[in-house]
Amino acid sequence: MVKKYLDIIKKNNKKINAILEINKDLKSGKGKLSGKAIAVKANINVLGMKTSCGSKVLEDYSAPYDATVISRIKDAGGVIIGNCNMDEFACGWSGETSAFGPAQNPSAPGYITGGSSSGSAAAVAAGFCDMALGSDTGGSIRNPASHCGVVGVKPTYGSVSRYGLIDLSMSLDQIGPLAKNVFDAALLLSVIQGKDENDSISEKSSGIDLDKVKKVPKNLTVGILDFRISDKNIQELIDRKVSDAVKAYGWKTKKIKIPNIGLAVATYYPLVYVEFFSGTRKLDGRRYGKKIEDAAGPEVLRRVLGGSEITKAEHAGRYYNLALKAKQMISEDFAKAFKGVDCIVSPVTPVLPHKIGAKISVEDMYNYDVLTIPYNLYGNCALSLPIGDINGIPVGMQIACDRFEDEKMLQIARAFEKL
């Protein structure tokens, strides 16, 4: 099976640009993932492979150890087939900020894959692997999964160890799976989740019962997020899918209003700028790589230089401290909302993907993740499920459940997938 994938990669990767490096150590073992090929975003350490983060800064950096998620995959018999292209240091929404060129969208040629886990989503969509790992700070797994027509899961914050992940924003980052279908994503998540002593925020979770994921849940109330987006066609696809589920399974629906959701983007970026600036101080060109200020591209520099500026000005509590307060308000809104519904559905992105290289304002780009960011702020689980296409371009539906209800979320997604 792995040989088959290697042949496909050899044939098509020049065009798709999803895989940056093929692993030389392709040993398979026995376990839940026996024989499965898994591609890994290039910000997750795989012993001996280049953890470049899609950047010239770390292009020669060879990982000295396996991240916890990688050790768990290897212990379960999985094969790490290669590492994937990505937005530089995960600073991007489209896959275009990679220093190694953007990955191409296999499901919609000429359009962006979405990001920042661009290569991971493209690798799954192009048939280069069974599953992939990405990381999601504000939508970086769900957004490319939506654009490439694959399943992408952001697990509950703290349920999957981040040990060995090169961080973008430590209070929001989460590693998660991308796969061709819900069951494969659930399978990979069941292997990588669980408490890890090497990650201080890691918590014990209840686990994923794969048999339960296959069963359609009964007596469900689906919350429909009350949020107006500019592309009506996307919302219509979501509404149709929910209506089909209501008819087929007898589920109920309820409109959900989140009072402070309009503050989510303004809350997210000050947190990311400051935490990214802090996290990149180690990239000073002494122990490894090049100095980040000398070798990074424009979006990374925007966050590093911006983070530096607002860190200096933080004594007045105008940025990070204010954002922390807003984060708490948004979290309280969601905690209350999830008391009345089993899940909340919405589009993943408010617009369809643009053509690679298209000109877009920074403000519009920063609003790209307006529907995914809120769940990173709350720290609950959310996923993107492919539900159809508009003129051949895949569209994903976001399904979110409360914190540590990952199993229920996968069960609901699987029921939607069956329709």
Cβ-based neighbours of 10, under 8 Å, separated by 6 or more? none
What burial class does residue 180 get, using C-beta atoms within 10 Å of its C-beta: 0-12 exposed, 13-18 middle, 19+ buried? middle
Beta strands in 125-283 (DSSP E): 131-136, 151-154, 174-179, 221-225, 252-256
Active site (annotated) includes residue 120? no
Q: Which of 98, 140, 190, 346 is catalytic?
A: 140
- How many residues of this chain bind other proteins (CB under 8 A)? 65
* Binding residues among 313-332 for other proteins as defined by CB under 8 A: 318-319, 322-323, 325-326, 328-329
What burial class does residue 103 get, using C-beta atoms within 10 Å of its C-beta: 0-12 exposed, 13-18 middle, 19+ buried? buried
Active site (annotated) includes residue 355? no
Active site (annotated) includes residue 140? yes
Task: Indicate which single residue of 43, 52, 67, 102 sits in contact with other proteins (rule: CB under 8 A).
Answer: 102
CA dihedral 186→393→6→79, nearest 10 degrees, is -20
Task: Indicate which single residue of 9, 37, 39, 92 sits in contact with other proteins (rule: CB under 8 A).
Answer: 92
Residue identified by tokens 């990381």 is 135
Residue 207 engages other proteins in binding (rule: CB under 8 A): no
Residue 211 engages other proteins in binding (rule: CB under 8 A): no
Token pair belonging to 337: 């909302």
Amino acid sitting at position 419: L
Q: Which is nearer to other proteins, 5 or 334 (CB)?
A: 334
Which residues on adjacent β-strands are paired with residue 385?
A: 397
Q: How far is CA 13 from the centre of its chain?
A: 22
Amino acid sitting at position 201: I
Binding mask 60-79 for other proteins (x = CB under 8 A): xxxxxx--------------
Stretch that binds other proteins, among 231-239, 247-255, 299-307, 406-414 (CB under 8 A): 299-307
Residue 296 engages other proteins in binding (rule: CB under 8 A): yes
Residue 25 engages other proteins in binding (rule: CB under 8 A): no
Token pair belonging to 7: 């042949």
Q: How far is the CB of 305 from other proteins (least distance, A)?
A: 4
Distance between CA atoms of 256 and 260, rounded to whole angstroms? 12
Residue 119 engages other proteins in binding (rule: CB under 8 A): no
Q: Which is nearer to other proteins, 99 or 208 (CB)?
A: 99
Distance between CA atoms of 225 and 56, rounded to whole angstroms? 40
Phi first, then psi: give them for residue 21, nearest 5 degrees: -150, 135
Stretch that binds other proteins, among 12-20, 97-105, 166-174, 205-213 (CB under 8 A): 97-105
Q: Which is nearer to other proteins, 41 or 408 (CB)?
A: 41
Distance between CA atoms of 55 and 295, rounded to whole angstroms? 8
Q: How far is the CB of 237 from other proteins (least distance, A)?
A: 26
CA dihedral 402→405→406→410, nearest 10 degrees, is -100
Stretch that binds other proteins, among 20-28, 178-186, 353-361, 392-400 (CB under 8 A): 353-361
Q: How far is the CB of 306 from other proteins (least distance, A)?
A: 3
Chain positions contacting other proteins, by CB under 8 A: 47-48, 60-65, 88, 92-94, 96-99, 101-102, 197-198, 200, 263, 265-267, 269-270, 273, 284-290, 293, 296-299, 301-303, 305-306, 309-310, 318-319, 322-323, 325-326, 328-329, 356-363, 365-366
| Active site members | 41, 116, 140
